[in-house]
Amino acid sequence: MNGEKVLIVEDEPKIARLLSDYLLSAGYQTDTVGDGAEVMAAFEQFQPDLLLLDLMLPHRDGLDICRELRTRSSVPIIMVTARVDEIDRLLGLGVGADDYICKPFSPREVVARVQAALRRVSWQSQPDGSSPVLIDEDAMQARVDGQLLDLTPVEFRLLSVFVSRPGRVFSRGQLMDHAYQDHRVVSDRTIDSHVKNLRQKLQAVSPDASPIQSVYGAGYRFDPAG
């Protein structure tokens, strides 16, 4: 699984573990650092796409870390604080964090905010128009090389998920989660079936490419240059 990488900076092992578990099961890669002094090294080495940063740390303040990182990277940072009123103070200080989470947090909340933060940056960085596949969520239309695809609702949602994270392998379960907002459970074959139809419609428009690849034992991967 090649999910995006989240660096967790948290000195309390139980909490670090908790965060890590949530994120792993949501398909992210994680690395954990418990000491403020080690953060920069881990950052260089792990090259995370996002930071979960506890405010209270041994040897070095989370605030301080946040400031230094901001001078050299625009990686999204989510601050984890123990108390709500801290947040006001942080806002006042003009720390450049992207979001804040208060303890105690719920699994869903953490994952939701991480997703949101990552979605935001992936959006901004895409000058859009660069990918051969364009998704218009509002209009519920998808285009390949300018050609409009005639997709059913499920197909559209699936393609939409794929396009949102090109190159990533999605398990059938993850595809279900993302494509069925009601938390319906369907069989794995159902996904296969829709992928088959989707592939067919994609090939009808651009016969030479096969952008949806099967990954044996894992799921499917979308690769626009496939």
Q: In this chain, which stretch among 31-39, 84-92, 193-201, 204-212 interacts with a second copy, using CB under 8 A?
A: 84-92
What is the smallest separation between the CB atom of 177 and a second copy, expressed in angstroms? 16
Backbone angles phi and psi of 85, in degrees to 5: -70, -15
What is the smallest separation between the CB atom of 216 and DNA, expressed in angstroms? 5
CA dist list (Å): 173 to 23, 27, 138 = 16, 11, 25
Strand pairing of 99-102 and 133-136? unpaired
Looking at 45, 152, 187, 200, which residue binds a second copy (CB under 8 A)?
A: 152
Q: In this chain, which stretch among 2-10, 27-35, 52-60, 88-96 interacts with a second copy, using CB under 8 A?
A: 88-96
Looking at 96, 126, 187, 196, which residue binds a second copy (CB under 8 A)?
A: 96
Q: Using CB distances below 5 to 8 A depending on partner kind, what does residue 21 bind out of a second copy, DNA, none?
A: none
What is the smallest separation between the CB atom of 84 and a second copy, expressed in angstroms? 6
User: Does residue 113 sit in helix, strand or coil?
Assistant: helix
Q: How far apart are CA 95 and CA 86, in angstroms?
A: 12
**Whose CA is closest to 57, among 48, 65, 49?**
65
Under rule CB under 8 A, residue 221 binds a second copy: yes
Hey, what are 40's tokens? 């920069």
Shorter beta-carbon distance to a second copy: residue 38 or 68: 68
